[in-house]
Each structure stands twice: as structure tokens, then as C-alpha cells.
A and B are shown apart, each in its own frame.
Chain A
Amino acid sequence: MTRIVVVGAGPAGIAAACRAAESGAMVTLLDGEPYPGGGIWRHSIDYSVPRPVRNSKEAKNMREKTKISNGARKAKRWFNRLDKVGVSLRTSETVVDITGRSVQVQREQGELDSIAFDKLILATGAHELFLPFPGWTLPNVMGVGGAQALLKAGMPVNPASPRGGVKRLRVVVGGSGPLLFAVAASLAKAGAKIVCVAEQTSGMQLAKFALGILRYQPAKMVQGMGYMLQYFPAPYWPNTWVKEARGDSQVREVVLTNGKRQWIEPADLVACAYGLVPSVELAALAGCKQENGRLVVDNLQRTSIEGFFAAGEITGIGGTDLAITEGEIAGLAAAGKAKETADYTDYTEKEKKQKLKSVKSVVNKLIARRERQQKFARLLNQSFALKPHLKQLPADDTIVCRCEDVTFGELKNQADQRSAKLYTRCGMGPCQGRVCSSALQYLLDWEPNKVRPPLFPTKIGAFISNTESLKRKAKK
């Protein structure tokens, strides 16, 4: 039986795991979070979806009691499908290293375990692009997806006020991308007062995007209108961005600008991020080929390394639906169910289209669907392309590396990421440059540093016990 390890239990990973397991493979699905779902299908305490479980039977019992709100029927369908197929779901297990054909995972308590595989599916998703601006390090300034995640985890946005009653937090949502919309809606629904949504892209681009949605994904338009109604009557300002956050022990107000004038809005919480960047660290450590920060994959989601597949946002930001389709293709291909039928790498575009039409296999259908969804992804990326003005966001005393408190002024005269690291400590902290190096790639066009193990801070004792247990295994 083919042993397949899927890293990342978001939409792409779940779809891949399901397809692979349904095709008869022995599948292990790993995620560092306590619950599966990834950023987008994240478990919420109000609609407690999946809990950390070790086997599918337990998962099934657990899942039967749960319901998913928010019209996330698709998520529910996939979670149910995941239960049925008997995937070994391992949550709170973070992949910290990869060697040959095994990944090393760290459990919450800090132990390491090696998991061997024949095929690997990388579905590590994306993280937000945080661009540093004055005051962005103040407490309660966070990402957009970050705010969503914390909200779902139980962060109150209408906490009890000391004088009785509740205090509705005033929230400014800023940055770029369709997520701003969705997150503003969930914050409003949870009881926050949305002050405004500041979207850096222009009204023209937004209009184009809206038309595109109507054309490619009309259902999304309906969803969008729903969001709109939920946090109505908060203003949605295109061509506007957060220039500065001000406060003391936490943020109190923000300075917004549209490039011509600036004004102040009150804020107890700021959710601000400029879209997503693929989380390619594991793939980079494994040695998979990248291009422009994305993983290079072929028609069957195969990476440059034999037996390694990739699906979802790490192959380029494209949204949930595309991620699912890519995951399905990767799962089928990794399980050996897509062998020759859809491998048209050497074909011309025309031949490929003909083939896709004539050979009616599941994979071909999925490939055709993926091509449609990629159009939407391109529209998404064009519509929310970042304004050059944003490169001016950080002042000289704005901290860029939050782990080591390195300012933009210290960094801007460094030659590259490597010398910046050695001479200013930028990127030397525990986040290992995930936050600052994405920002610096945008701000100063710096190539990120080489990825080294461990991918996340790992207990020293874990390395040792893992070595010992491996030795014991070898003896047996």
C-alpha cells in the first residue's frame, strides 16, 4: 500500500487526503493547529467542528455531534468525506524537518516523531503579508486572517465593560484582498463595531473584480452581498490604507490616507494585512523548485522532486475552490490514479484541450475545472496588486523584525537578507524571518535566506529522543 503523507489540513490538504485515501492509499494528514480546516475552514468555538483525534472512528463520533454554520456547506461536505475514508488525522503536529522520505513532526509537548512516506503532498497553504507601518507593533494590531483566527478561537470583541454592559470594540480593517470583506463581516457578527474597511486597491480595480466574480463565480457575489449586509452600514473605502497606528498599552486610533489627504479614525483593534504569500518553507527545505515565491508544479501537481506533490496556495494564491481542485488532482496523482490519462505536459495547448475533452476521466474533469478556477485566481491577483506607495509605509524607526526589534532604518542600507541577518539580527528570532522576510522581499526586493532545519523552534530533548527511538527501531 502506498504511504502518503499530506502536510497541511486546509482545503487542499483535506481534498488531497480524501482523494488519495479513496484510491486505496494509506494516508496521514498532518497539521500544526489543534484542529483541521486551515485558515479558511478554521474551527470555531461556536460551531465546534473537528477536534484533535487520533483515529477516524473517534473522528466520526466526534463529527456527528458537530455542525458548521456560516453556510460553509462545502467545508462540512469535505469534513464528512474525510471521516468516511479513514485518513489518519494528526493535529497539533508540526513538521519541523524533512529528510529523504520521512518528515519529522513535533507534538505539542515537544516530542519528535518520524513519519515515513512513499509520496508526499505539500499543502502548507499561505501566510499573510504584513507590511510594517508606524505603530504596527502595538498590541491589538493584527493580521486580517489573524483577527479571524483569534476571533474563531474565542477572542471576545464585545467584552464585558468594567462599568457593566458590554464594550463593543471599534475595529478598523485594512490592507488588501477579498478577505477584508469576509473578516469585517465576521467581526461585526461577533459584536464588534466596524469603523471602516480600508482597501488599498482602487475603485476601478474593485469594479473589475466584481464583474469578474459575476462571470466566473456568481455564487461568490451572493456571498459577498451577504457580508455587505452583515456589517452594514460601515464604510468600505477603496484606495485607502492605514498609514500609522497610535496608542499606548494598545492601539487607540489609526491614521488613514488615500495618498492625497490623511485623517484619523478611532480603533481598539486593527486588522491589517496585504494579501497572502505561499508558505513554501518546508518545500524549500526539501529542495522543490520555486518561481517567484511559488512552488512549480506540472499538470498533475507534481513538484520538481519525484514523488513530491503540491496543492493549494503554495503553488500560487488562488482561493479555496482552486485549492480543493488542486488537492483532488494531487491526491489522485499521488495514489497512482492519474497515471497517463492526464499527463499532457509535452502537448500543445490545442492538443491538451482536445485530449481533455475526449478522455473522460475524473482527473481530466478536475484539470478542466482547475483551468477555469485559475482564471479567477489571476483576476484576484491583478485586482489586488499592491500600490507602489506602500513601499513608503515604514519610517526609519519602524520595527520590521518583530522578534529582534530591528528597524527599517537599520535595514535599508544593508546589501541583502544574509548580511542584514548577520549585521542587524533581522530574521534571527524564533519566527525565523517568516514575517519580516516576506515584507522585505516586497519593500527592498530581497531574496529570502536559505531555509534551514528546524522549520519551527524545536525542543532540544526532542532531537535526542527521536534519535534514540530511531536507533531502537533500527535494532528491531
Chain B
Amino acid sequence: MLGHRVTENYDVVIVGGGIVGAACAAELSGARLRILVIDAGRVGCGTTGASMGHIVVMDDSEALLNLTAFSRELWLRLAKDSASACEYLPCGTLWVAADAEEMDVVYQKAKNYEEHDIAVEVLDHKSLYQYEPNLAQGLAGGLRVVGDCVIYPPNCAALLLQGIEVRENCNVCQISDNLVSLENGSEIRAEFIVNAAGAAAPKLTAELPVEPRKGHLVITARYPGFCQHQIVELGYLKSVQKMEKESVAFNIQPRPSGQYLIGSSREFAGWDDSINRNLVNRMLTRACDYMPALKEMFAIRTWFGYRPAPMLSCPPPRLASGDAGAGESKNGGDKLPIIGNWPKVKGLYIAAGHEGLGITTSLGTARLLAAEILGQPPPIDPAPYRPSRLFRENK
């Protein structure tokens, strides 16, 4: 034996104790496997702790709709059993259309959702204000997605990790064939290794096309009753898809405490760890455009997290809305997470690149991954998310 090197053995080592890693651990825990979750800090305290916890069905593409809808179903089941632990708030999502053009998008989205049995309500000008009287005047209408909800991610991560062995403040420096090497010099052998390290995943799996996409949030003091839904402007979708260096979109979430989380910003700034004041101000300005009464509220804290953004160079698939996308763009890709076996390292599985949908899709991701690891039939078609799609064009 070399120096102080210790070798341990587990069946599964999951690197990353955020919501995705926690969900994977929970999913595999029924299978009589020895599981270890390793986190560089504290579980649920990275991007998971910084996130909003909006459980939302997205219809950007067929594959994303399938994954988010399947995941939401799993969340609703979990929340039913542990509503208070999850801080479950069945508030729905309200997509706001600013003008007639955006109303057309509302009708298109309503059609998409209904085709997939997702309950929605199209709101005209009048019914929009009946639901949310504090919205700015002059908006065209909206789309209410009834079953969407809000949970509190750190608590959910802790809940999912109950009874699972966790090692915190532990840095992994390398993942190789069935081997996890720790910074302290020791090693862990495992039949299955899951890289669920969020935006840090490429530090351990170099070829993973994932980059941190920083997002800021602001929380207000308590003003119970100000809004009832998670309200998002339809322009949000553009903010996500356009790969601009910086973008903002209006997004507000009621918390059970009577506080409001205000988002959102997207920014490619690497691991920069400062508050981007200009961007926060732009974000708040945008929010006040949609809800002017926010101006009188106190913001008590600002923070940020790093979304693990997939930066795929494969061609984007056909969007569910019928739009073929902007053709092949270097950074655009299919915007889907990367879930499944990584062919280049023995025993390695990836659960990464969830960008801003990690909380929503964590449970679905875990099901897909567990099915693959345990050799069970997949709950939904796993092909669109498989890592192998990254290598297709290299042929």
C-alpha cells in the first residue's frame, strides 16, 4: 500500500449531494446496494440551495416535455406523502403574455400541453387580472398551468437522502474506471459511479459539455397575499434559449412564508462569485415592469447559483412547437440534460446538464438512471438524453 492511501468499496458512489444526486441515491436505495453520496460541501447547499424550487412542465421540445411531465408526476406523489417536509405549495404556473404576439404563443403552448394531458387554462385579459390583480395594466393574457407547484429544494434533498450514507466536505479529484479518487489521497472502488456534480461535473468528466450559467435571485420581506402563482413572462423562454452573455426575464414565486423570490437572470461568467449588481438591477426593473407594486417592497437578500448549462454541439431537435430551431448553433444544442452511461469510463454514469430545470427533472432523471443501472425497462424513452448523442457527429 502506498503511503496513507486507503481503498474502500461501495456498489454505488454518487458524486454530488444536490437534488439530482440525492434523487439518484433515493432511487437506487431500494436495490440492496451499498451507496455512498459524496459532496464537496454540504448536501443540498450548492446550486440546489440557491435555486427556486419551481416544479414546472416545459414544452420547449417533445423530449423536455416528456421528462418534465414525468418528473412533475413523481414530485406530486412525493409531495402528497411529505407535503410539509417539502414545503409543497400547489400554486401553479402563470405564463404571462404581454401582447397579441405572445398570446399566439399561449394558444400554441396550450395545444402542446393538452396533447400531453397537462391541464392548462388559457387566460384572457380579464381573467388574468382576476387571478393576479397586482400585475401591470395592459397585459394581453396568459396561460395557467394548474398542476405546477413549488417545493423547498434543500429540504427535499435532505428528505431524499434519509438513511443514505453521506460524506460531506469531501473533494473528489478524479473519476476513472470504477474508481473515485479523493483529494485526501484515498480511493473508493465502485461498480457504478454517478457524476451528479452539477456545474462542476466537467471537472471530473472532462468531455462533458456543461458550463456554469450563473443566476441571481432576490427575496423580499413578508407581504402575504401579494401574488398566488409562480408568474413567469413568456419572454423567459427566449432568455433561456438565447445564448447571450447576459439576459433577464421576469419570474416571481410566492413562498409559504409570505415572501417572494424574484428572478431571473442568466449569465455566462464562469465561476465568478460576486453579485452582478447591474444584472440584478435589470432583473428587478423587469420585475417591476410586470408588477409595479414590487417597488414598495423591501428586498432583504440577493444571492446566486450556478446552473449546469448543457453546451451541446449536436444539432437541435425539432421543437414541439413546430419551430425547427435556428439550425445548428455551436452552443444551442438540444438543451436537454445528459443522463446515462458514459461509454468512455468503465462504470460511469452521468446525471448532469439540467440547467435551470434540475429540481423539476431530478426525480425523472433518477428513474431513468436507476433503470439503466439496474437493467430495468425505462419509464420513458431514454434516447434523447443519452450521453452517446454527444459523440454522434464525431463519426
Listed in ascending order, the chain A residues whose CB lies under 8 Å from chain B are 97, 99, 110, 415-416, 418-419, 422-423, 425, 428-430, 432, 452-454, 457-461, 463-464, 466-467
Since A457-B300, A460-B295, A461-B296 are in contact, a sample of 9 more A-B pairs with Cβ atoms closer than 8 Å, ordered by chain A residue number, is A99-B277, A110-B296, A415-B42, A415-B168, A418-B41, A423-B155, A432-B300, A461-B288, A461-B295
Across the two chains, which residue of chain B brings its CB closest to A464?
Answer: B285
Across the two chains, which residue of chain B brings its CB closest to A415?
Answer: B42
Q: Is the CB of A452 within 8 A of B300?
A: no
Distance of A372 from chain B, by nearest CB (Å): 41
What are the 6 A-B residue pairs with the smallest beta carbon separation, nearest first? A461-B295, A457-B298, A467-B281, A422-B154, A457-B300, A419-B42
Q: Which residues of B contact A422 (CB under 8 A)?
A: 44-45, 49, 154
A-contact bits for B62-96, CB 8 A (1 contact / 0 none): 00000000000000000000000000000000000
How far, in whole Å, are A416 and B169 apart by their CA atoms in the complex? 12
How far, in whole Å, are A466 and B278 apart by their CA atoms in the complex? 11
How far, in whole Å, are A304 and B385 apart by their CA atoms in the complex? 49
23 residue pairs from A and B, CB less than 8 Å apart: A418-B41, A419-B42, A423-B44, A425-B257, A430-B298, A430-B300, A432-B300, A452-B303, A454-B300, A454-B301, A457-B221, A457-B300, A458-B299, A460-B218, A460-B288, A460-B297, A460-B299, A463-B284, A463-B299, A464-B284, A464-B285, A464-B288, A467-B281
Q: Which residues of A contact B359 (CB under 8 A)?
A: none
Q: Which residues of A contact B45 (CB under 8 A)?
A: 418-419, 422
Across the two chains, which residue of chain B brings its CB closest to A454?
Answer: B299
Question: Chain B: interface residue count, which band?
Answer: 20 to 34
| Cβ-defined partner of A454 (8 Å) among B287, B295, B302 | B302
How far, in whole Å, are A268 and B296 apart by their CA atoms in the complex? 37
Q: Which residues of B contact A467 (CB under 8 A)?
A: 278, 281-282, 285
Across the two chains, which residue of chain A brings its CB closest to B273?
Answer: A450
B282-335 residues at the A interface, CB under 8 angstroms: 282, 284-285, 287-288, 294-303
How far, in whole Å, are A428 and B87 apart by their CA atoms in the complex? 16
| Cβ-defined partner of B220 (8 Å) among A416, A418, A453, A460 | A460
Cβ of B280 under 8 Å from chain A:
yes
Distance of B21 from chain A, by nearest CB (Å): 16
Cβ of B158 under 8 Å from chain A:
yes
How far, in whole Å, are A301 and B44 apart by their CA atoms in the complex? 41
Across the two chains, which residue of chain B brings its CB closest to A429?
Answer: B300
Given A99-B277, A423-B154, A460-B288, A452:B221 Cβ within 8 A: no
Q: Is the CB of A459 within 8 A of B275?
A: no
How far, in whole Å, are A467 and B275 apart by their CA atoms in the complex? 15
Q: Is the CB of A97 within 8 A of B277?
A: yes
Q: Is the CB of B42 within 8 A of A453?
A: no
Distance of A413 from chain B, by nearest CB (Å): 12
Q: Is the CB of B42 within 8 A of A463?
A: no
Distance of A421 from chain B, by nearest CB (Å): 9
Distance of A113 from chain B, by nearest CB (Å): 14
Distance of B38 from chain A, by nearest CB (Å): 15
How far, in whole Å, are A453 and B304 apart by their CA atoms in the complex? 11
Q: Which residues of A contact B285 (CB under 8 A)?
A: 463-464, 467
